[in-house]
């Protein structure tokens, strides 16, 4: 590979790795709500680079190599500096509803992170405008580098904490600078760049810039208590797991504990993931007597109902409390399914003595994979399946494939005829999670052919949490009587079952009105659709096409919610949608500025029509690429398993094969067909996207493949589509470079802005209408792009 | 002994009369010399107005009443909130919002302080326990309403700071304890009310034991910046425990029709 193209690939790898790393870093330091916003807006740096290059291109062209090297160096330096400066900003995500000043800090945060991306993008933009090589090859280097960077980042994050991995990623900029300078026979300057790289290495070794969590997160608060310390840590691209011991004031975290319980909880360690927690890890010596209080929790009900469950499936390990309960009740076979082996490796390693080796007992088998993949396999039937349905860390717009209608149908499919699916979750008022879980279960039961699905459900609650029990067969009178007795003894309230009177719903833990009973009664009655439409929260069940269980936001309820928020009830407002819409609005406005400002510079140099058509084309292919890519990625998550690795594999495959497509478009044989090339690509994209839509069902089917062959199969499925998607950009940019070279950096910037706007829009389309709709929108964007390019001379 | 009703002389009046009675007694109490510094008199008065406004939206939450107990409002008029926030935030002390006070801790929005204090149903002569001293502001309000306040703080520097502030305000009926809230303060029990201002994932049995029959415990769920709901734990005269979960505001979860 030519040194300048290699340098493009290296910077591009660094930029993508920085993006992945920043997402982890921000999730650890702050809350997830703003991670997507900050990063997607920071990527406007790509647009900004195009604008600046448009203005400066004539002056930079004679000095392309040093200019590239300076930009690459500055990318590395800015990547480090932006993180260090950001840590000093007093941004508090929790306070944005209350203090306008926080919006300023937030804006500063994303401007800060836009700087490294702008320098990285300037490198590719400079190469596209100035390097004497076919556009397709330059773009290929950019995409191949980005694909490699994506895999590199996920690999690095498997080994290092994000703050530790940062200097290595920043060093990519210096390496790229050295490559370009050495290629341009500027050896001393190249050596200087490498020395700077060594300085980054020293910074890394000395622990700069460090990782400072927001003081409002639970972990830093716990660490203020005298006698607390982090005793174990595991890092992975999924999360930073930290275990805290408190010597003086014990952790006592037990969810759904009856107020009738008198026993003090056993000794616990606090497990924190990305600073959130604690999830208790309980001391276990083999003696169950100190754990008797667990019998007084909601989670114990399925074990105490009637027949003791012999075969138990736990979908999620948590801190091991559910496993202790299953062991205490003498389950003979316990399968534990957990996609992240971080906690399991701690329980088997550093914490083995404390946790009593619960994962290594003969009746326990740990399966490191997703709940969906495990449930879809053929295997023995279970008497009890437990799925913790409490909100995850991903926020309202995170995909939740374990909580879709299809997922529930799969779990119910793994139950023995008398088996129970238990779904413990937090109590929220007004009820949201509980009602959505009920509706999801009802639809799953209906799909499985249940005649009276309402009779398959029972809902019970403690003062702080709720459990939904779903049976494959209807509950019989004896089982319901057993539940009634247990509820009475433990002072739990009956939320709902088919045989209870409304008056029995609000006895020990009063909600003012039997809101759960009334809600479930409405959902199991004739006016289900009307109730769902009128409810102030979106309780439509999640499906595999629209897998957003945690999205409860209804625009119509915003005025109501806002009044409540200002009166002190900020917890009512789900942030996902408002933040996403704000992101889209800011992206559109900033994008317009970044696109229109350089248009003035270009005004005298190119015809208005050429300018408009160029803008339209690169906007549309930028958006089309994002829509199709995100839709395909979402579907493949289910097939591939855990979301982080699925993200890495699919994104890398998209980038690499699009890169190869771009290189193919630059081949000498294609030059004769240059005018037809965009239409050929658009046609191929439309056909292959349709094929993906049809194949989606097939791809979600279970199979016996291991992770690596599954990843290869997914990459193969992506390959032809991504290959075609790599063609439209270089095909037309090469035409511009030959006919109107002044438009090249602008087209690059427009494409960058389009990606940012489209990514923000894609999240809204996917949550509202599903992945299928997003895919169709992507294809439509490509078709219009085909029309727009005909007007580019 | 149940304290219900002892602090609500206007309990039997119809709604309009009740509000008028509330206003009268509030203004009478306000006429007492305030310890708070005068520079903040206006913001403090605005704060009381905003609390009253929010309270009107919280009628069902307040057992159908439309006003906060005037004794609570009078206490909030007397305690200088600015003395319990970091100096840099003094100017915002009376804003209608929670404020950060350092160490990742917060001082709750004034309305929530008023509401939670109201829910505790305090009366003169009582002894109450607070779990989580934080800034010391809530303890200072309680100190105005009852005879003795015991407050437990788990973070030592916070406890030191709160104790200093309370001393500065010459509040002598608050004792700040350092350590574990789980066991309460057995030597000072029973308590007529227990205010839990820190997050609680279990309701400790020792605290239920230390609550006098008829007494109440108030627990917020969710942080000060994102309050979810409030839990009131009642110990009935017979010793049975009941909890009530309520939003701090009236919120009817229905929109007229249609989808997103």
Q: CA nearest A737: which of A787, A790, A793, A791?
A: A793
**Strand bridging mode A228-235 / A240-246:** antiparallel
* Distance between A669 CA and the closest CA of chain B, angstroms: 51
- As beta bridge partners, residue B221 has B229
Q: What angle do CA A416, A420, A423 make, to 5 degrees?
A: 140
pLDDT at A783: 97
Residue ranges covered by each domain of chain B: 15-246
Q: Residue A73, by phi and psi: left (phi above 0), alpha (psi -120 to 50) or beta? A: alpha
CB A583 within 8 A of CB A40: yes
Touching A: B residues 204-243, CB under 8 Å = 204-205, 208, 221-223, 225-229, 231, 233, 241-243
Touching A: B residues 155-174, CB under 8 Å = 155-158
Q: Taking all residues of chain B, what is their mean pLDDT, rounded to a whole number? A: 85
Q: Which CATH number is B15-246 given? A: 3.40.50.150
Closest in A94, A249, A768 to B260, CB measured: A768
Q: Do B154 and A261 touch (CB under 8 A)?
A: no
The pLDDT > 70 percentage for chain A reads 98
**How many Å apart are CA A450 and CA A120, to the nearest integer?**
57
Q: Is A430 helix (H, G, I), strand (E, B) or coil?
A: coil
Q: CA nearest A465: which of B75, B73, B14, B201?
A: B201
pLDDT per residue as tens digits for the range B164-211? 999 999 999 999 999 999 999 999 999 999 999 877 789 999 999 999
**Residue B57 confidence (pLDDT) above 90:** no
Please give the C-alpha separations between residue B16 and each of B19, B23, B25, B125, B207, in angstroms, as whole numbers.
5, 11, 14, 30, 38
Taking CA–CA distances from B206, the nearest residue in chain A reads A262
Q: Do A567 and B156 touch (CB under 8 A)?
A: no
Length of chain A: 793
pLDDT at A394: 67
**Residue B60 confidence (pLDDT) above 80:** no
**How many Å apart are CA B73 and CA B191, to the nearest integer?**
22
pLDDT at B257: 53
Q: Do B98 and A563 touch (CB under 8 A)?
A: no
Q: Do B260 and A556 touch (CB under 8 A)?
A: yes
CB A750 within 8 A of CB A50: yes
* Distance between B132 CA and the closest CA of chain A, angstroms: 12
pLDDT at A147: 97
Please give the C-alpha separations between residue A170 and each of A14, A515, A569, in angstroms, as whole numbers.
7, 54, 42
* Class of the CATH-defined domain A575-793: mainly alpha
Most confident of A102-116, A433-447, B214-228: A433-447
Phi, psi of A224 (to 5 degrees): -75, -20
CB A429 within 8 A of CB B228: yes
Q: CA nearest A33: which of A173, A156, A227, A216?
A: A216
Please give the C-alpha separations between residue A672 and each of A678, A685, A731, A733, A744, in angstroms, as whole numbers.
13, 21, 12, 16, 22
pLDDT per residue as tens digits for the range A607-641? 888 889 999 999 999 999 999 999 998 888 888 87
Instruction: Return the higher-pLDDT residue of A310 and A185.
Output: A310
pLDDT at B20: 39
B-chain CB neighbours of A534 within 8 Å are 254-257
Residue ranges covered by each domain of chain A: 1-212, 218-282, 289-555, 575-793
From the centroid of its chain, how far is CA A433?
20
Closest in A217, A220, A535 to B254, CB measured: A535
Number of C-alpha atoms within 13 angstroms, CB side, residue A516? 33
Length of chain B: 260
Q: Worst-scoring range by mean pLDDT, A8-12, A57-61, A717-721?
A: A57-61
Q: Is B228 helix (H, G, I), strand (E, B) or coil?
A: coil
Rounded mean pLDDT, A385-411: 88
Q: Is B162 helix (H, G, I), strand (E, B) or coil?
A: helix
Q: Worst-scoring range by mean pLDDT, A128-142, A404-418, B44-58, B242-256?
A: B242-256
For residue A475, the 8-state DSSP code is P
Rounded mean pLDDT, A703-727: 89
Q: Worst-scoring range by mean pLDDT, A86-90, B85-89, B213-217?
A: A86-90
Q: Worst-scoring range by mean pLDDT, A5-19, A131-145, A669-683?
A: A669-683
- Close Cβ partners of A702 (under 8 Å, ≥ 6 residues apart): A373, A376, A377, A378
CB A785 within 8 A of CB A678: yes
**Residue A392 confidence (pLDDT) above 50:** yes
**How many Å apart are CA A343 and CA A512, to the nearest integer?**
40
| CA dihedral over A429, A434, A440, A443, signed as positive or negative | negative
Rounded mean pLDDT, A491-509: 95
| Catalytic hit among B25, B92, B108, B259 | B108
Q: Do A508 and B222 touch (CB under 8 A)?
A: no
Taking CA–CA distances from B239, the nearest residue in chain A reads A260
Please check whether residue B245 touches A, CB under 8 A.
Answer: yes
A-chain CB neighbours of B229 within 8 Å are 428-429, 569, 571
**Residue A542 confidence (pLDDT) above 90:** yes
Q: Is A491 helix (H, G, I), strand (E, B) or coil?
A: coil
From the centroid of its chain, how far is CA A158?
17
Determine the residue among A90, A299, A568, A580 to mutate to test chain B binding: the one whose Cβ has the most chain B Cβ atoms within 10 Å.
Answer: A568
Closest in A255, A508, A570 to B242, CB measured: A508
Domains A1-212 and A289-555 share a fold: no
pLDDT at B23: 39
User: How is domain A1-212 classified at the CATH fold level?
Assistant: Growth Hormone; Chain: A; (1.20.1250)
Q: Taking all residues of chain A, what is their mean pLDDT, rounded to a whole number? A: 92
* Distance between B155 CA and the closest CA of chain A, angstroms: 5
For residue A306, the 8-state DSSP code is S
Residue B15: Cβ within 10 Å count: 12
Q: Do A533 and B228 touch (CB under 8 A)?
A: no
Q: CA nearest B9: which of B79, B70, B88, B99?
A: B70
Number of C-alpha atoms within 13 angstroms, CB side, residue A27? 23
The answer to whether B201 is a known catalytic residue is no
Query: What proportions of chain B, in percent to the nearest 5, are helix, strand and coil?
Result: 40, 20, 40
pLDDT at B3: 36
User: How is domain A289-555 classified at the CATH fold level?
Assistant: Rossmann fold (3.40.50)
Q: How many A-B residue pairs are in contact by the CB < 8 A criterion? A: 169
* Distance between A784 CA and the closest CA of chain B, angstroms: 28
Q: CA nearest A340: which of A238, A235, A270, A271?
A: A238
Closest in A98, A262, A463 to B97, CB measured: A98
**Residue B13 confidence (pLDDT) above 50:** no
Touching A: B residues 181-200, CB under 8 Å = 182
**Strand bridging mode B148-153 / B127-131:** parallel
Residue B59 pLDDT class (50, 70, 90 cuts): confident
CB A587 within 8 A of CB A44: yes
Most confident of A182-186, A700-704, A785-789, B38-42: A785-789
């Amino acid at each position: 590979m030519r040194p300048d193209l290699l340098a493009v690939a290296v910077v591009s790898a660094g930029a993508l790795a920085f993006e992945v790393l920043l997402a982890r870093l921000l999730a650890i330091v702050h809350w997830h709500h703003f991670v997507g916003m900050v990063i997607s807006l920071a990527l406007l740096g790509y647009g900004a680079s195009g604008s600046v290059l448009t203005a400066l291109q004539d002056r930079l062209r004679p000095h392309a190599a040093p200019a590239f090297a300076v930009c690459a160096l500055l990318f590395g330096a800015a990547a480090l500096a932006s993180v260090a400066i950001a840590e000093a900003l007093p941004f508090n995500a929790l306070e944005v509803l209350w203090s306008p000043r926080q919006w300023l800090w937030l804006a500063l945060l994303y401007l800060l992170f836009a700087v490294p991306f702008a320098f990285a993008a300037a490198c590719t933009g400079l190469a596209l405008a100035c390097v004497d090589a076919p556009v397709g090859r330059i773009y290929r280097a950019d995409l191949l580098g980005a694909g490699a960077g994506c895999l590199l980042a996920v690999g690095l994050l498997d080994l290092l904490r994000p703050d530790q991995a940062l200097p290595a990623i920043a060093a990519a900029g210096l390496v790229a600078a050295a490559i370009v300078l050495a290629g341009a026979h500027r050896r001393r300057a190249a050596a200087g760049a490498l020395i700077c790289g060594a300085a980054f290495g020293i910074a890394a070794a000395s622990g700069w810039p460090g990782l400072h969590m927001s003081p409002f997160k639970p972990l830093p608060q716990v660490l203020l208590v005298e006698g607390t310390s982090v005793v174990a840590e595991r890092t992975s691209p999924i999360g930073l797991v930290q275990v805290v011991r408190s010597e003086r004031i014990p952790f006592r975290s037990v969810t759904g504990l009856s107020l009738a319980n008198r026993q003090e909880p056993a000794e616990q360690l606090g497990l924190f993931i990305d600073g959130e927690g604690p999830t208790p890890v309980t001391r276990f010596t083999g003696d169950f007597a100190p754990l008797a209080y667990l019998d007084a929790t909601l989670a114990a009900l399925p074990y105490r109902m009637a027949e003791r469950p012999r075969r138990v499936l736990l979908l999620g390990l948590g801190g091991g409390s559910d496993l202790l309960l299953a062991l205490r009740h003498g389950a003979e076979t316990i399968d534990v399914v957990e996609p992240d082996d971080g906690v399991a490796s701690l329980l088997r390693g550093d914490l083995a003595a404390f946790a009593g080796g619960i994962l290594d007992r003969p009746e326990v088998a740990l399966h490191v994979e997703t709940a969906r993949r495990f449930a879809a396999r053929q295997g023995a039937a279970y008497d009890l399946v437990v799925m913790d349905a409490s909100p995850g860390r991903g926020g309202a717009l995170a995909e939740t494939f374990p909580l879709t209608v299809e997922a529930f149908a799969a779990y119910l499919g793994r139950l023995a005829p008398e088996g129970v699916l238990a779904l413990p979750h937090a109590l929220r008022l007004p009820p949201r999670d509980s009602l959505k879980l009920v509706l999801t279960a009802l639809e799953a039961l209906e799909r499985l052919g249940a005649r009276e699905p309402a009779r398959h459900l029972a809902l019970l609650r403690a003062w702080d949490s709720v459990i939904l029990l779903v049976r494959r067969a209807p509950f019989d009178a004896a089982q319901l009587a057993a539940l009634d007795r247990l509820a009475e003894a433990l002072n739990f309230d009956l939320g709902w079952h088919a045989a209870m009177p409304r008056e029995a719903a609000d006895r020990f833990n009063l909600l003012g009105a039997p809101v759960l009973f009334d809600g479930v009664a409405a959902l199991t009655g004739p006016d289900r659709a009307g109730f769902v439409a009128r409810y102030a929260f979106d309780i439509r069940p999640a499906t595999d096409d629209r897998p957003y269980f945690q999205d409860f936001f209804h625009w119509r309820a915003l005025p109501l919610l806002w009044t409540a928020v200002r009166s002190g009830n900020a917890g009512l407002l789900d942030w996902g949608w408002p933040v996403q819409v704000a992101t889209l609005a800011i992206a559109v406005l900033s994008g317009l500025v970044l696109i229109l400002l350089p248009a003035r510079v270009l005004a005298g140099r190119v015809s208005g029509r050429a300018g408009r058509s160029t803008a339209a084309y690169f906007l549309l292919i930028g958006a089309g690429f994002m829509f199709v890519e995100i839709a395909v990625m979402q579907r493949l998550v289910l097939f591939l398993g855990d979301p982080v690795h699925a993200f890495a594999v699919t994104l890398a495959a998209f980038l690499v094969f699009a890169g190869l497509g771009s290189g193919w478009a630059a081949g000498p044989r294609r030059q004769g067909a240059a005018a037809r090339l965009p239409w050929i690509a658009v046609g191929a994209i439309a056909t292959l996207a349709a094929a993906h839509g049809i194949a989606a069902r097939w791809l979600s089917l279970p199979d016996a493949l291991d992770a690596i062959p599954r990843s290869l199969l997914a990459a193969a499925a992506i390959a032809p589509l991504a290959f075609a998607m790599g063609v439209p950009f270089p095909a037309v940019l090469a035409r511009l470079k030959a006919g109107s070279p002044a438009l090249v950096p602008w087209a690059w910037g427009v494409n960058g802005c389009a990606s940012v706007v489209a990514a923000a829009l894609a999240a809204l389309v996917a949550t509202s209408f599903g992945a299928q709709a997003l895919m169709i929108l992507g294809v439509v964007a490509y078709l219009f792009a085909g029309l727009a390019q005909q007007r580019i001379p | 002994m149940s304290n219900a009703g002892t602090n609500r002389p206007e309990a039997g009046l119809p709604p309009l009369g009740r509000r008028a009675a509330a206003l009268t007694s509030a203004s009478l109490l306000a006429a007492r010399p305030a310890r708070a510094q005068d520079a903040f008199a206006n913001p403090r008065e605005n704060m009381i107005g905003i609390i009253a406004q929010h309270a009107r939206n919280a009628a069902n939450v307040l057992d159908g009443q439309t006003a906060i107990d005037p004794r609570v409002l009078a206490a909030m008029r007397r305690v200088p909130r600015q003395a319990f926030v970091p100096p840099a935030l003094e100017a915002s002390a009376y804003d209608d919002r929670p404020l950060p006070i350092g160490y990742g801790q917060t001082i709750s929005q004034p309305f929530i302080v008023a509401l939670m204090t109201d829910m505790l149903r305090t009366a003169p002569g009582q002894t109450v326990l607070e779990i989580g001293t934080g800034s010391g502001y809530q303890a200072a309000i309680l100190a105005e309403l009852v005879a003795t306040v015991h407050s437990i703080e788990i973070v030592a520097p916070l406890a030191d700071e709160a104790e200093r502030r309370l001393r500065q305000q010459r509040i002598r009926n608050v004792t700040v304890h350092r350590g574990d809230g789980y066991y309460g303060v057995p030597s000072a029990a029973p308590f007529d009310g227990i205010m839990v201002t820190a997050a609680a994932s279990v309701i400790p049995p020792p605290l239920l034991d230390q609550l006098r029959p008829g007494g109440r415990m108030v627990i917020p769920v969710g942080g000060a910046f994102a309050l979810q709901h409030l839990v009131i734990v009642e110990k009935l005269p017979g010793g049975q425990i009941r909890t009530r979960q309520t939003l701090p505001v009236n919120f009817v979860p229905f929109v007229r029709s249609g989808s997103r």
